[in-house]
Amino acid sequence: MYKNVLNQYTIPAIAFIIVCFSSLNANAQLSFSGQLRTRGELRDGYGTLQTIGYKDAAFISQRTRLTLDYKSSKLIFHTTIQDVRLWGQDASTTSITDGNKLEVHEAWAEIILSNKKDTSFKSSPLDYFAVKVGRQELAYDDERLLGNLDWLQQGRRHDAIVFKLLQKGWQFDLGVAFNQNSDAINYNGTYYTPANIPATVKDSKGNLVNTPANIIPLINSAGISAKNGSPVYLNPPGSNAATQNYKALEYLYVAKKINKTKISGLFLADQFSKYILDSVKNTSGTDVGYVYGKRFNQTGVNTRYTTGLLINPAFGDKNQLALTGGFYYQGGHDRDGLELSAYMITTSVVYKPNQLSYTAGWDYLSGNDAFSTSKTDRRFDPLYGTPHKFWGYMDYFYAVSGSPTGGLSNPYLKVKYTSSNSRFTTELANHYFMLAQNQKDINGQAVSKYLGTEFDLTTGYKLNKFTGIDLGLSYMAATRSMEYAKNITPGTANLKPVWAYLQINIKPEFLNK
């Protein structure tokens, strides 16, 4: 019933908006597009190693998007309505208690204040200057640190304001974001609980109880850690490798292209709410239990900053040879308030003489040495990027299950074929995973730094201008060191995980003939 109500009112409303925008300005551009992306997956060790004897799993997920764009000389307006779900996640009939899965993925406007290329401006002191405000994707360079994470059906977006300046070939983007849970009516302070917390949770005796205010509960009811002495929390949000969304974020991105070489720099600071470990008593009949978790109604924030440079030179008439080199440093304090000093190095070379392209590269992300007595956190966190693109399609690092405490060293090779009409592509990638720093086994001895080798085979075919089909198959030959990296009991995991997917992606342009 509720889906019918949605269709009854949403579709006519969108149609009405289109008609209104079309009549505003004959010179304006209006586009209305959609996406239906359905992906079936077979998982037997995706994201982390599975315990021996566990059965593989299969499911189908789907993303549906409707996107409206309006462009005029003084304004760009963009909104994307998104629905993400699993096939069968809802019963064939639903009720209002099932919750709302429809969300606004993007809704932003870019107010253009200066544009020398547009004659409708009487005066333009700057080549281009605009203010972009609202819910939006932040994607820069190769999306290693800031990206839209498009592989995930839900993607990634930020509620932010961005000042955009182009002047004499220079690009300057200054962005600011601020997160809050409440509109501050009868609310003391501006504290932020960085997660989507369920209404109820089980206490240490297994009794269902209302989730205490300002607390992210532990996953396990007894409040005992399940990973290396560190608390494991229910529904942890956050960036690629850690478990807490930011309270505020500020960044400055600067880029300049000199001939065929692009140089870009990033300075980003993000602040995280401070917390204390706490428990709340719950009495249920004769049972006296506790809900354990992080309480976030504390004064102050922990500030982390990330800065670095990326250089991308290209050579040849058709850019047959392209190089990448980058270095980023993280300092300040991590989410838990520990002093932070970490870094990342990335380098690669791409050679494309014809329809075949060859890529060789190496990424190094620093980590913590298990034999060090230092209290400084040296684990680099690759911020809010798209890790699926870089560290193996099985997402063992900086994605689903976070990053190894010891960091990561990843040399890799890729070979890709693209047909002459670009309708067919296939790629074989190989990743050689190693720890960046030493880790201990259960006897206190150093484990081998070699974690395993992953092979990713992907194929894509464009049926027509709006429909594409993608197929992927991944296999990893892991070592016992991967068990330690993933906090799995030694000797209990299947060291030959596999993963496969089949995806159809339909993206029509509704206003085009």
In CATH, what number is assigned to the domain containing residue 437?
A: 2.40.160.100
Rg, the chain, Cα only: 25
Q: Is the pLDDT of residue 5 over 50?
A: no
Residue 35: inside a domain: yes
Residue 149: inside a domain: yes
Residue 512: inside a domain: no
In this predicted structure, which of 22-36, 385-399, 428-442 has the lowest mean pLDDT? 22-36
Q: Is the pLDDT of residue 95 over 80?
A: no
- The whole-number average pLDDT for the span 149-156 is 91
pLDDT digits (tens, 9 = 90+) for 301-318: 999 999 999 999 999 888
232, 223 Cβ separation under 8 angstroms: no
Query: What is the H or E stretch that residue 18 is in?
Result: helix 2-24
- The whole-number average pLDDT for the span 489-502 is 94
pLDDT digits (tens, 9 = 90+) for 457-493: 999 999 998 999 999 999 999 999 999 998 888 899 9
Residue 433: inside a domain: yes
> Average model confidence (pLDDT) for the chain?
87
Confidence of residue 3 (pLDDT cuts 50, 70, 90): very low
Q: Which two tokens stand for residue 152?
A: 């995930």
Q: Is the pLDDT of residue 99 over 90?
A: no
- In order of 239, 323, 496, the CA distances from 269 in angstroms are 13, 28, 39
Confidence of residue 323 (pLDDT cuts 50, 70, 90): very high
Residue 511: inside a domain: no
What does the alpha-carbon distance between residue 359 and residue 48 come to, in Å, rounded to a whole number?
A: 26
Residue 231: inside a domain: yes
Confidence of residue 182 (pLDDT cuts 50, 70, 90): confident
Domain of 306, in residue numbers: 2-506
Q: Is the pLDDT of residue 37 over 80?
A: yes
Q: Is the pLDDT of residue 404 over 90?
A: no
Give SS3 for 10.
helix
Give the chain's end-to-end CA distance (angstroms, integer): 33
- The whole-number average pLDDT for the span 13-31 is 61
Q: Which residue has the higher pLDDT, 224 or 370?
A: 370
Q: Specify the number of domains making up the chain.
A: 1
154, 80 Cβ separation under 8 angstroms: no
**Three-class secondary structure assignment of 347-359:** EEEEECCCCEEEE
Taking the model in full, what pTM does it have?
0.88
481, 449 Cβ separation under 8 angstroms: yes
Residue 169: inside a domain: yes
pLDDT value of residue 244:
77
Confidence of residue 289 (pLDDT cuts 50, 70, 90): confident
Q: Which residue has the higher pLDDT, 368 or 198?
A: 368
Residue 513: inside a domain: no
